[in-house]
A and B are shown apart, each in its own frame.
Chain A
Amino acid sequence: MPRISRGIASYLRKKNKLLPLLYRDSRIPELAEFDLRSLKEHVLQREDLKNSPRRQFIYLKSLCERRARAEPLEHILGTACFYDVEILSGRGALIPRTETESMVMRLCDDLKNYYFVNGSRRNNMGKKFRILDLCTGSGPIALLIAKQLYDLNLPYGFQVLGVDISEPALKLARGSLEHNIRSGALPEEARRDVGFSQGNVLSPKESLHGGKSDVHDDITSFFTHEDRTNNKPIVDVVVANPPYVSASGYWEDTDRSVRLYEPEIALVPPEERPKSIQDDILREDVFYPTIEEYAAYFESKAVVFETGGDKQSNRIKSMLENRGWETGTWKDFRGIHRNVVGWRKESGWNWLPLPSKDGISYD
């Protein structure tokens, strides 16, 4: 890592003597100042240090030293803001990214403006609106969708299920759910409507009850345990932000802070691929066809994926087209094709690729 030039160091030190520490990772003075402000706020919230400025400073300095070792700010603060929900953050899961945030907000805005526009649509044929979030990690997608759908006040309600392989990540997800209920961002009913379940999406275990697999069984039982039919449920949308970084990309493109403090399992798909995946599919793409199979099995109307960029988006798009989906892409704020959306022709979800009405869209 290059050393910090003297000029910048003294410039920062003049402003605040902790700033050079914070500058080490981000290398942008404004970001260092922003970090300092957030950390200060965090320290001031600690009740036990309230009466001792000296101890407050020592604590603040220790936090800055952690930040100097490239530890993400979210890990130090313990939470990450994901639009209007807070997600607990720790080593067990990926910190939610702003691109994912935009994807969820766009989906929710579109649902509000194009889908739930009149009474009969809002009734959703008298059924709960069901969303499946595969590879949920610490649960940001599931929780933000829940928050946005509660605001829509659907007459028959909705259900969101997040599935992930990692137990530590799910611990954070369940913690985040409780955290948001406590802070009032989500209502008490969220305990019933939002669920997280452990399962290996890519190569699930065999089913104990003669179903397709244990993950399919978990999904079925979550969506049907209320009406006790145990028939195969219909899931309206499947949303996923699976690991999509290639093995070489992991070493070349990722930030040092990401490699040091965030789990590799959340970024790079495993080397061992399930037998059902053809050999010509790249390693970074293996999750998408698998998730598509879930969507097909549960007769979803639409799928929404986050991808790594233009090339990957094109590959996923043609994969979906081959499997009979209508497709489109969404750009992120940098103009990169970051999301691939697919919908069934007969479902009437052809509004998905339209530019969003009140959110920010960049297409």
Chain B
Amino acid sequence: MIRPPWICRHCLSRVRITTTSRRTRLALAHNIIKRQSHISARPDEDDDLFLADSLLKRAKQLSTEHDVLERQLMEDFDTKTAARAGHLRPVSEALKEYEAAVENLKELRALASDPESDLSAMAVDDIPPTIDQIRTSSAALTTSLVPRHQFAALPCTIEIRPGTGGSEATLFANDLYKMYTSLLGILRWQSSIISYQTHNEIGGEGCSEAIISVSTPESYDLLRHEAGVHRVQRIPATENKGRTHTSTATVMVLPKLGDEDGDFEHGTDDDPLAQLDPKDIKTDVMRASGAGGQHVNRTESAVRMTHIPTGIVVAIQDSRSQHKNRSSALTILKAKVAEKRRKEKEEEALSMRRGVVKVGAGRSDKIRTYNFTQNRVTDHRSGQSNHDLPRLMGGNGLMEMIEGVQEWDKQRSVEVMLALQEMEDLKKKKDHKE
């Protein structure tokens, strides 16, 4: 059994006790720690209290880099350096807090162990809050160590397409399109519609494809959580027997790479993942035969670009200038390929530790359900529900939902990072032995 005094009832109730072998007991205890349960501090047991050395080392490196950058900024201001320093600041601050707390604990323990001192009783009282402080600061430090998403600083494009469910799906895609445009309106983010293809149905206006380009920097960081399959459950307007249908719409959110602002640290032309070999790109215009040049009239401005190794296709007919369409097609293609390559890289790293960390929802899983009959929206990742669907479809309250997912994603990335770190440590140990 787990020793009762330092686990609260709420946490205990979550643990289904079936066996009492030592190993499962450890696993269960570990599980509780992972869920950030309310464990009260025991003064003398602190194995999992301090951060792993490797993490601490990295935090120290980053913090030193932060100091160097700060000094550079004193001499000569540069926006790129300032941005990098800004990203490192939370790490440096969290590390300072953590170190102070650890130092504090050491002194308190020294005092407490000294029976002759008058302060020992007071010191014993002070130890639990200090340990809590270490816990919070180490959690903050771990979170701040999670590398920012490499495209987080970029603007993005949102693509909405109907999934399964026929015409009802196009109606729902149109609802989603309206929801996102009103969200962008509420946030006052600059956006423009690249493509909006209507698909008129009996029950109202449907949409077979909508692409919104959001030009606000950092928008990808937030909106990337919206990518995935959105499921709707309702009695569609096209239904005459009153049955509830389930349909889906897919939302894709892609970072816009190669923006003219150019001071993004990741993802732009310097990003190795966005580099494409021109030989791998096939460009089609709608009329490919003939001599070209002065021989043919150039009305055809629509462009379709294929990245042959990955099979990703981008079709653009946004502008009347074909060259402009070609360059924007290339930008989107770069983004898509980089996204795919990044995903592959992430998956690869993840699959090695699949046993420890559950793999997050891929593109194939549904992320959110809109249940019109129950007036409810549930996000399957954060488990959050909203019970005012019309308001949410108008863009209100969506922000809170996305923030919930963001929080969930942060937790997940902490787990992934810890797993990766563990893996690296093991590897190093192995190398050391050999």
Q: Sort A-B residue pairs by CB-CB distance and give the 3 closest, nearest first.
A: A98-B322, A81-B320, A81-B321
Residues of chain B with a CB closer than 8 A to A306's CB: 293
Give chain B residues whose Cβ lies under 8 Å from the Cβ of A96: 298
Whole-angstrom distance between the Cβ of B31 and the nearest chain A Cβ: 51
Residues of chain A contacted by B320 (CB below 8 angstroms):
38, 80-81
Contact B319 A244 (CB under 8 A): no
Minimum CB–CB distance from A76 to chain B (whole Å) comes to 10
Q: Which residue in B296, B298, B321 is a CB contact (below 8 Å) of A254?
A: B296
- Distance, CA A330 to CA B327, complexed state (A): 17
B317 lies within 8 A of A244 (CB): no
Q: Are A360 and B322 in contact (CB under 8 A)?
A: no
- Whether the pair A245, B295 counts as a contact (CB closer than 8 A) is yes
**B-contacting residues, A59-73, CB 8 Å:** 72-73
Select which of A26, A38, A95, A249 is within 8 A of B300 by beta carbon: A26
B45 → chain A, closest Cβ, in Å?
58
Pair B299/A73 contact, Cβ less than 8 Å: yes
Which residues of B293-319 are within 8 A (CB) of A? 293-302, 317, 319
Residues of chain B from 309 to 340 with CB closer than 8 A to chain A in the complex? 317, 319-324, 326-327, 330
Contact of B326 among A241, A267, A360 (CB under 8 A): A360
The reply to whether A249 and B295 contact each other, CB–CB distance below 8 Å, is yes
Task: Enumerate B254-294 residues with CB–CB distance to A below 8 Å.
Answer: 258, 269, 278, 283, 285-288, 290-294
A187 proximal to B (CB < 8 A): no
Report B-chain residues with C-beta under 8 Å of the C-beta of A101: 321-323
Distance of A237 Cα from B102 Cα, bound (Å)? 68
Do the beta carbons of B321 and A82 come within 8 Å of each other? Answer: yes
A31 partner, pick from B291, B294, B302, B324, beta carbons under 8 A:
B302
> Which B-chain residue is minimally distant from A26 (CB atoms)?
B299
Contact status B293-A34, CB under 8 Å: no
**16 sample A-B contacts, Cβ–Cβ < 8 Å, listed by A number:** A26-B287, A34-B302, A81-B320, A83-B323, A97-B294, A244-B293, A253-B295, A254-B296, A262-B297, A306-B293, A308-B291, A308-B295, A309-B291, A358-B269, A360-B326, A361-B278
Check: A154 CB closer than 8 A to any chain B CB. no
Q: Kindly list chain B residues whose C-beta atoms are within 8 Å of the C-beta of A195.
A: none
Taking CB atoms and an 8 Å cut-off, the chain B residues in 32-83 that contact chain A are none
Asked if B286 and A28 make an inter-chain contact with CB atoms under 8 angstroms apart, the answer reads yes
B291 pairs with A98, CB closer than 8 A = no
The answer to whether A255 touches B286, judged by C-beta atoms less than 8 angstroms apart, is: no
Contact between A359 and B327, CB atoms less than 8 A apart? yes
B277 → chain A closest CB, angstroms: 11
Across the interface, do A338 and B278 meet the contact criterion of CB distance under 8 Å?
Answer: no
Contact B278 A255 (CB under 8 A): no
Known contacts A34-B317, A101-B323, A258-B295; can you find 7 more A-B pairs with CB under 8 A? A97-B296, A98-B322, A241-B294, A249-B291, A255-B290, A255-B295, A355-B278
Binding site for B on A (CB under 8 A): 26, 28, 30-31, 34-35, 38, 72-74, 80-84, 94-99, 101-102, 105, 241, 243-245, 249, 253-255, 257-258, 262, 266-267, 306-309, 332-334, 336, 338, 355, 358-363
Instruction: Give CA–CA (A361, B278) in the complex, Å.
Output: 7
Known contacts A31-B302, A360-B330: A94-B324 contact under CB 8 Å: no
| Separation of A98 and B79 alpha carbons in the complex (Å) | 37
Chain A contacts for B294, CB-based, 8 A: 94, 97, 241, 243-245, 254, 258, 266-267, 308
Task: Name the residue on B nearest A27 (C-beta).
Answer: B287
A360 CB contacts on chain B under 8 angstroms: 278, 326-327, 330
- Listed residue (B300, B317, B321) with the most chain A CB atoms within 10 angstroms of its CB: B321
Q: How far apart sit A323 and B319, CA to CA, in the bound complex (Å)?
A: 41
Residues of A within 8 A of B258 (CB): 358
Taken together as a complex, chains A and B put the C-alpha atoms of A180 and B326 apart, in Å, by: 23
Docked CA distance A254–B366 (Å): 52
Min distance, Cβ B356 to any Cβ of chain A, angstroms: 42
B→A interface (CB under 8 Å): 258, 269, 278, 283, 285-288, 290-302, 317, 319-324, 326-327, 330
In the assembled complex, which residues on chain A have CB atoms less than 8 Å from the CB atom of B317? 30, 34
A94–B296 CA distance with the chains assembled, in angstroms:
11
Contact pick for B319, options A28, A30, A81, A255, CB 8 Å: A81
Minimum C-beta distance from A355 to chain B (A): 7
Report the separation of the CA atoms of residues A308 and B290 in the bound assembly, to the nearest whole angstrom: 11
Closest A residue by C-beta to B299: A73
Q: Is the CB of B297 within 8 A of A30?
A: no
* Chain B residues whose CB sits within 8 angstroms of the CB of A267 once the complex forms: 294
> Which residues from chain B contact A266 at a C-beta distance below 8 Å?
294
Residues of B within 8 A of A363 (CB): 278
Complex Cα gap A67–B278 (Å): 36
Are the CB atoms of A30 and B286 closer together than 8 Å? yes
- The distance from the CB of B292 to the nearest CB of chain A, in whole angstroms, is 6
With contacts A26-B299, A26-B300, A358-B269 taken as known, whether A83 is within 8 angstroms of B291 at the C-beta atoms is no
Residues on A with C-beta less than 8 A from B323 are 83, 98, 101-102, 105
Q: Which single member of B269, B292, B298 contacts A95 (CB below 8 Å)? A: B298
A34: which B residues are within 8 A, CB to CB?
Answer: 301-302, 317
A288 → chain B closest CB, angstroms: 14
Does B324 lie within 8 Å of A338, measured CB to CB? no
- Chain B residues lying within 8 Å of A336, measured Cβ to Cβ, are 292
Rounded to whole angstroms, the CA-CA distance of A94 and B295 in the bound complex is: 11
CA–CA, A31 and B303, complex, Å: 11
A332 contact set on B, CB distance < 8 A: 292-293
CA distance A253 to B269 in the complex (A): 39
The reply to whether B321 and A83 contact each other, CB–CB distance below 8 Å, is yes
- Beta-carbon nearest neighbor of A106 in chain B: B323
Would you call A30 and B293 a contact (CB within 8 A)?
no
Provide the bound-state CA to CA distance between A253 and B319, in Å.
27
A28-B287, A38-B320, A81-B319 given as contacts; is B297 within 8 A of A99 (CB)? no
Query: Contacts A31-B302, A249-B291, A334-B288 known; A255 to B321 CB distance under 8 Å?
Result: no
In this complex, which of A80, A332, A334 has the most chain B Cβ atoms within 10 angstroms of its Cβ?
Answer: A334
Asked if B286 and A309 make an inter-chain contact with CB atoms under 8 angstroms apart, the answer reads: no
User: Judging by beta carbons under 8 Å apart, are A255 and B297 in contact?
Assistant: yes
Cα separation A14 to B41 with both chains bound (whole Å): 74
Q: Which residues of B contact A94 (CB under 8 A)?
A: 294
Expressed in whole angstroms, the Cα–Cα distance for A30 and B298 within the complex equals: 15
- A31 to B298, alpha carbons, bound, how many Å? 11
Chain B residues whose CB sits within 8 angstroms of the CB of A26 once the complex forms = 287, 299-300
Contact of B324 among A84, A99, A333 (CB under 8 A): A84
Chain A minimum-CB-distance residue to B293: A99
**Beta-carbon nearest neighbor of A258 in chain B:** B297
A96 to B302, CA, bound (A): 16
> In whole angstroms, what is the CA distance A74 to B322 when docked?
13
Measured in the bound complex, the distance between the Cα atoms of B279 and A363 in whole Å is 8
A105 to B328, CA, bound (A): 14
Query: Complex formed: what's the CA distance from A336 to B292 in Å?
Result: 9
Q: Which residues of B contact A95 (CB under 8 A)?
A: 297-298
Instruction: Kindly state the separation between the CA atoms of A355 and B258 in the bound complex, as whole angstroms.
Output: 18
A83 touches B293 (CB 8 A): no
Report the bound CA distance from A334 to B296 in whole Å: 14
Q: What's the minimum C-beta distance from A253 to chain B, rounded to whole angstroms?
A: 5
Q: Which residue of A lies closest to B325 (CB)?
A: A98
